[in-house]
Amino acid sequence: MTQFLAISSCSSTNLLRHASRTDLCQIDDKTRIGVKASEFHGNAVLHYKPNSGSVRDNKCAIRAVLTNDQAAVTSSTAEGKVPRKKLNKVVLAYSGGLDTSVIVPWLRENYGCEVVCFTADVGQGIKELEGLEEKAKASGACQLVVKDLKEEFVKDFIFPCLRAGAIYERKYLLGTSMARPVIAKAMVDVAREVGADAVSHGCTGKGNDQVRFELTFFALNPELSVVAPWREWDITGREDAIEYAKKHNVPVPVTKKSIYSRDRNLWHLSHEGDILEDPANEPKKDMYMMSVDPEDAPNQPEYLKIGIVAGLPVSINGKELSPASLLAELNEIGGKHGIGRIDMVENRLVGMKSRGVYETPGGTVLFTAVRELESLTLDRETIQVKDSLALKYAELVYAGRWFDPLRESMDAFMEKITSTTTGSVTLKLYKGSVTVTGRESPYSLYREDISSFESGQIYDQADAAGFIRLYGLPMRVRAMLEKGI
């Protein structure tokens, strides 16, 4: 069940004060600047920067707000800027890092809105969640909402991909791709709960995540406005962001900046940037965080028995666990044996190639187990169709189309076709490898009495001669044609 935590509450104070003859913009508790309503075609908002001198200083931006539903805020001093729609309250996907800390005052400054920070716990670790209330308040947010999405993430997003066998470009187990729609879905829910009219994220304009967030917003609430600061603001890098934070009295996170760009959740940990940008470079040994180097893994193998019901894992060595608990335990076991390291060059949705290194210990164990059980429970034609659809399924998830009717329809097929994929698979984990040592299923299509080399009543070996002649007839006719027979 989703856990809900709301920390602090939004102030009811509106930064804009309206009068019948003169529109007032409240800069702080003491300062109000009046502008005659007749000077604009609507309510006038004076965008004031402290210590900028006169209100007529060209560093100040006076923005006219239209009175109709399509009200837009636009700067009079910044030529070529796209008009901005006036917003009341924005839900921001918030991590507490530099970028999202800066986005809070930027939204308030440029959209005149209240900002509700939202953080999703998808298993990124307790350290990532520490001190968020203080950071959000210090940045100017009026509320912080935290939701524990771990069970929902695994049950409703990871397990369907696992059942479908969805792997992007032969290697990637879609860790980040699956996490974004569950976070975005929760943001839509929070927007409804707090009465927000917009959502915002800190994704750059060069990556896949912006698409994943926004397609989910479109699918679940097309009436919400979406703000993507990295596609609008003048901040170009870390130093600009730090300077902006200082000017707006936003405490800059004191954590040491990693040389890698990382994304972590209960399913995986990704690494990008620094030396990894050159595909010829081997990753450094100290980069990995979820798994030990296979060379340093235990010298004795460990055996696991994974219980599976209808294509979904339910137990480890006979112990039934919740989806999130099961995955967390397999991450520990798999990581100890150096399982699940992937180094790949992938094609991003936006067109460029990128190099990433992924750690998915528990996921690698589960994919191996489910696939091997299917070798017992699915026939040849079904496996071929399922595998072909799995490629498209992975592409849809990677591209952020989780709530696309096509993926949902394919998921219904996957659920139906794996209804008999029930049983157990025994695996051996040893120094980075996962080896299958046994498979069992009450729905197994494997029959020892048929497969045995011994003669039997069900399969008469003499029948093979006629089968081969008919099956090879097209090849035989072609050869006769070429030889003039």
d(CA 285, CA 269): 15
| DSSP run (H or E) holding 40 | none
Catalytic residue among 84, 108, 163, 180: 180
- Token pair 């007749």: residue: 38
d(CA 12, CA 431): 58
Helical residues (DSSP H) of 3-71, grouped into ranges: none
As beta bridge partners, residue 369 has none
Is 57 a catalytic site residue? no
| DSSP run (H or E) holding 196 | none
CA 123-129-130 angle, 5° bins: 145
CB atoms under 10 Å from CB of 109, counted, come to 16
Is 180 a catalytic site residue? yes
- C-alpha closest to that of 320 among 339, 306, 300, 301: 306
With 0-12 CB in 10 A as exposed, 13-18 as middle and 19+ as buried, what is 280?
exposed
- C-alpha closest to that of 436 among 359, 357, 376: 376
Helical residues (DSSP H) of 337-454, grouped into ranges: 361-377, 380-398, 405-417, 448-451
- C-alpha closest to that of 207 among 276, 273, 161, 152: 273
Is 387 a catalytic site residue? no
Tokens (6 digits) for 10: 């939004």
d(CA 70, CA 84): 10
Catalytic residue among 11, 52, 258, 261: 261
Local structure of 450: helix, strand or coil: helix
Is 99 a catalytic site residue? yes
Residue 21: DSSP 8-state = S
Question: Following DSSP, what letter does each residue of 328-365 receive, concatenated?
Answer: HHHHHHHHHTT--EEEEEEE-TTS-EEEEEEE-HHHHH
Catalytic residue among 209, 407, 424, 439: 209
Question: Please, are residues 425 and 356 in contact by the beta-carbon 8 Å criterion?
Answer: no
Tokens (6 digits) for 230: 């990295």
Alpha-carbon distances of 279 from 13, 244, 344, rounded to whole Å: 53, 34, 8
> Alpha carbon 230 to chain centroid distance?
18
DSSP β-ladder status, 22-26 and 32-36: antiparallel
Catalytic residue among 23, 99, 121, 189: 99
Order the strands of the 302-309 sheet from edge to edge. 319-320, 312-316, 302-309, 423-430, 433-440
Catalytic machinery residues: 99, 180, 209, 261
